[in-house]
DNA sequence: AATATAAATGAATGTTCATTTAGTTATCAA
DNA sequence: TTGATAACTAAATGAACATTCATTTATATT
């Protein structure tokens, strides 16, 4: 039996991520992907059921990787300040190391496939985060909040900063560079917002 | 000379907004749009140069409408708290009244066409916002911040709440309803973050 | 009523799309 | 060395796509 060329599968995934990050789900097609990797379009159907399956599978894989990194050195039992700071820094660092992967996931986040992606991700991420937030509320480290309110205040600013950077336009200058300084500033403000 | 059927142009815009809001830029095509409105595809090219021109033009129009509403009862000279509260409430109200238009603009925000849209929007919105933020810094109402940091903390949480709502999934329950209560809570946290 | 003219169209163009099929190739177990 | 088998492919399919073109239609002006 002929063996799978794992390198080609990796190249396929990598190229799909890049194409979607740079041109959106719009600019992505199986034929373009096959051509870019040097593979027959039919080969892609050996690995994935159809186009949607490919996007959702790769999306879930990258999301899982991102979430894993965001939980590095994190436990739900941490103090709220330390826990949030840890997660923030992990996410910021992941963006610095993998800007294309982050942009890829952002493209998915605003697509109709995102629910499918999250369903496929699985894992105990949600559970851990809920434990963390509920624990912090019990320990009176933060005010009682619906999870969505907490999440919106805690993490949306980071991803907006990333978006500004990706779009490369500042309201003030023409170029916008995302600095560690700005991330730190923003984190400080977020912490201030959530402390009782 | 035959006269333009303004009603059909409006129907065309409305349908384009709805299609893109519900199915993304992916699920949007000139032929589907024409069919949905009951018009020949060729007619669309009387009004718009091409597909991209249609999306960018309608996008700019809706964005302009949204920004105008967000500036209702607002002047850059207002106190920071009042000014931010006013804008927040305007934006929240606009979402309650026009959820589809907001989702349409969100789809554009994460697309490659967004820079073109913003270029076409024009207006003095950016100037007014800059005045407002700089004024607040001078009056020592808020700490000195890069515009992007300010913006990320001030408004990203609102749009994240909206996104949770649009995606209709909560991390805790299955259904997520965005309540005025949650918006008010979030606004309070944002104000707390930005006060010196 | 006749004319000019821009709006509107039906049908077609050539392209790109996702996916399938029939056949080829590489590798393992015998 | 020989089959068995799964990986892989070239080529094709039909559908959907953006856009164009030759015509027709409606209206404002004359």
* Summary mean pLDDT of chain A: 93
CB burial of residue A138 (10 Å; 0-12, 13-18, 19+)? exposed
ipTM of the complex: 0.92
Residue B157: the pLDDT is 98
B53 falls within a domain:
yes
CA of B3 to C1' of C2 (A): 19
Q: How confident is the model at residue A193 (pLDDT cuts 50, 70, 90)?
A: very high
Reference B178, options B167, B188, B191; nearest CA is B167
CA of A56 to C1' of C26 (A): 30
Chain position carrying tokens 């259904």: B175
CATH number, domain containing residue B100:
1.10.357.10
A22 falls within a domain:
no
Q: How confident is the model at residue A90 (pLDDT cuts 50, 70, 90)?
A: very high
Reference A21, options A65, A64, A55, A66; nearest CA is A55
B32 falls within a domain:
no
Residue of B27, B155, B185 lying closest to A145 (CB–CB): B185
C-alpha dist (Å) from residue B72 to B62, B89, B98, B106, B124: 16, 10, 16, 21, 14
A109 falls within a domain:
yes
Percent of chain B whose pLDDT exceeds 90: 83
Residue A64: the pLDDT is 97
Chain B positions in Cβ-Cβ contact with residue A148 (cut-off 8 Å): 161, 164, 170-171, 176, 182
Residues of chain B with pLDDT under 70: 169-176
- Ramachandran quadrant class, B123 (left: phi over 0; alpha: psi -120 to 50; beta: rest): left
A29 falls within a domain:
no
Residue B169: the pLDDT is 58
Chain position carrying tokens 């629910």: A115
Residue of B nearest to A191 (CA): B193
Reference A94, options A83, A80, A106, A82; nearest CA is A106
Number of domains in chain B: 1
Residue B139: the pLDDT is 94
Structure tokens at A157: 């600013």
Dist. CA B37–CA B5, nearest whole Å: 13
Specify whether the CB–CB gap between B16 and B55 falls below 8 A: yes
State whether the Cα torsion B152-B154-B157-B159 is positive or negative.
Answer: negative
Return residues 125-184 of B near A (CB < 8 Å): 126, 129-130, 145-149, 151-153, 155-161, 163-164, 167, 169-172, 176, 182
Cβ of residue A3 closer than 8 Å to a chain B Cβ? no
CB-strand contact A32/C, under 7 Å: yes
Domain hosting A118: range is 48-194
Specify whether the CB–CB gap between B171 and A123 falls below 8 A: no
C-alpha dist (Å) from residue B118 to A62, B70, B105, B109: 31, 16, 11, 10
pLDDT tens for residues A135-159? 999 999 998 888 899 999 999 999 9
Angle (CA) A150-B106-B145 rounded to 5° is 60
Residue of B109, B182, B190 lying closest to A146 (CB–CB): B182
A18 falls within a domain:
no
B88 falls within a domain:
yes
Residue B178: the pLDDT is 75
Percent of chain B whose pLDDT exceeds 70: 95
Protein contacts on strand D: list nucleotides below 7 Å from a Cβ: 4-12, 16-22, 25-28
A114 falls within a domain:
yes
Specify whether the CB–CB gap between B189 and A193 falls below 8 A: yes
Residue B71: the pLDDT is 96
């Amino acid at each position: 039996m002929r063996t799978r060329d794992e390198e080609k599968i990796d190249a396929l995934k990598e190229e799909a991520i890049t194409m979607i990050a740079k041109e959106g789900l719009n600019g992505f097609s199986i034929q373009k992907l096959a051509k870019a990797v040097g593979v027959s379009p039919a080969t892609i159907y050996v690995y994935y059921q159809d186009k949607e399956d490919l996007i959702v599978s790769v999306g879930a894989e990258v999301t899982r990787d991102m979430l894993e990194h965001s939980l590095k050195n994190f436990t739900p039992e941490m103090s709220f300040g330390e826990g949030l700071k840890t997660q923030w820094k992990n996410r910021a660092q992941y963006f610095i190391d993998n800007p294309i992967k982050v942009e890829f996931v952002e493209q998915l986040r605003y697509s109709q496939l995102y629910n499918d992606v999250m369903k496929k991700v699985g894992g105990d991420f949600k559970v851990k985060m809920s434990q963390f937030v509920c624990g912090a509320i019990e320990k009176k480290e933060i005010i009682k909040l619906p999870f969505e309110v907490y999440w919106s205040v805690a993490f949306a600013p980071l991803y907006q900063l990333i978006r500004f950077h990706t779009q490369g336009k500042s309201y003030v200058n023409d170029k916008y560079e995302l600095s560690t300084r700005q991330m730190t500033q923003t984190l400080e403000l977020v912490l201030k917002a959530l402390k009782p």
